[in-house]
Amino acid sequence: MTSNFSSSIKNSISIFNSKGIVSLDLLRGLVAYSVIIPHFFLFYGYNSKILEFSAVFAVEVFFILSGFVLGPQLERIFKYPTYENLKIFYSRRWMRTIPIYLVIMLSVAVIVPNISFDSVIKYLLFIFTWTHIPNEGEFFFPAWSLAVEEWFYLIFPLILITFSIFKKKQIHAILFFLILFLLVKLASYNFFTQSDEIRRVTFFRLDAIAYGYLTYLLTNKLTQLNKILKNIIWISIPIFILISYQFFINNIHILFVYSSAIAAILILVSFRYITSGLIKNDIIKKSSAFLAHTSYSVYLIHFLLFTLMQSYLHSVTTGFFIYITIIIILAVLSFYIIEKPILELRPNYNIQHKIKKTFKDSFIFSLFTNLLAFIIILFLAELSSNKIKHLYSNIYVKKVLKNQGVEVESDYSDKEIEIEKVINFKITRDKKRREAQKGSSYYYESYVVFKNKEFKSETLNIQKNGRRKTLNNEDNSNEEKNNFIIWVLGASP
């Protein structure tokens, strides 16, 4: 099987024409602006849970919508599990998402001061929020949701191919994936000081898009919804939105994730089966296509634009008008200069499906299955270790001590544990900063390997003479600490 790269004439893309479903194109555009409009007011300084929820909920709808529109491609991969189909899938997705992301992300990295090279590399590889939300260095906030999408594109098709090769049903592959990450969330929930990490950490959210694909499979053969079902859906949408809002404002993010997924699915289905004649109107069609084609760049550009504009915004009304206008202009330029030329080069799936060699025979499949098994076992072992220790201490050790008449102290309160974690984090942070400064014993500076230097922070107070001061402003040592000049021959920094 060979992929054929379409010529720009045959596969020409117009910003006002779309091959997708009109109502879903419209939904994609509405969702994009449901992110950037609340963000403007939040960035401007408005403190509103409703605005914050609107933006966050819109991203959840994005996830479901992405899985739904990818349905035909993912279904093809399951039915015809070949290396060629997988390669085309990766090419099409990454040619759509990566180029404009690199341009915007690197632009933000240049503009925002004090961005480390390490942070840029992590953003390039979509691993900045892979297992946790960093306490500092997060300079391009839209990237967390893109990381979920990119890693889903990479991993989920391999899961489908694995189940297909072993003659398992497609629904079993999806349920396996969804249940696996539900268990991961449940096992991890108590180990995080910020429950928000359950919502934003990449590894925990890989199943978000799979719910959209499940929706596609369950509704694909439906031509229309009957009136009763439509009414049930329209009544259920505001109910689940209100439920997810309550979970969000109360910081119960693990329940917010699932309630918002249900609400997003209901919204998607209601848009998918709109029968109004307005959808057939040419103006609506062209507007929907425009919104769909520019939604991705709008989502990326809005953060860059506000970073540039924030010091010049003096009027909310004028600032908002300029903000929206410039975003639309930049999105159109992005489409014609960056996105359109690359999209027209994307490979198409070949209609021939008969392949002698299957993906099961490839080295990539063997490597992936072994590596995936190892990662899952390692991750579950790491998550369960502290829990097992806690259970052992509370169920066995305390019981034995109590039987022996030894008084067992109660556990620390949640507040005390939280304070202890914050203190430990600050100590670790300040030590790393001191170690990273020039002249410390961990940083080579010419021939001077170590020289006492003054360092002040929340937890450390080192004087120029190398002695540490306590909170009472007293030296903790009566001895002077000498500077050492060490000459190293043949060494490099």
The band of 10, judged by pLDDT with boundaries at 50, 70 and 90, is very low
Per-residue buried b or exposed e for 239-277, using 16+ beta carbons within 10 Å of the residue's own CB: ebbebbbebbeeeebbbbbbbbbbbbbbbbbbbbbbeee
Give the CA radius of gyration of the chain: 27
| Mean predicted confidence (pLDDT) in 79-102 | 92
Nearest Cα residue to 210 out of 174, 264, 242? 174
pLDDT tens-place string over residues 127-169: 988 888 877 777 888 899 999 999 999 999 999 999 999 988 9
The band of 66, judged by pLDDT with boundaries at 50, 70 and 90, is very high
Owner of token pair 């590894």: 203
Contacts 24+ apart (CB under 8 A), 223-228: 224/273, 224/275, 225/269, 225/273
The band of 470, judged by pLDDT with boundaries at 50, 70 and 90, is low
The band of 118, judged by pLDDT with boundaries at 50, 70 and 90, is confident
Q: What is the pTM of this model?
A: 0.70
Owner of token pair 């190293």: 488
pLDDT tens-place string over residues 263-316: 999 999 999 988 777 778 889 999 999 999 999 999 999 988 887 887 777 788
Phi, psi of 126, rounded to the nearest 5 degrees:
60, 40
| Mean predicted confidence (pLDDT) in 178-204 | 81
Residue type, 322: I
Dihedral angle of Cα 319, 320, 326, 330, to the nearest 10 degrees: 130
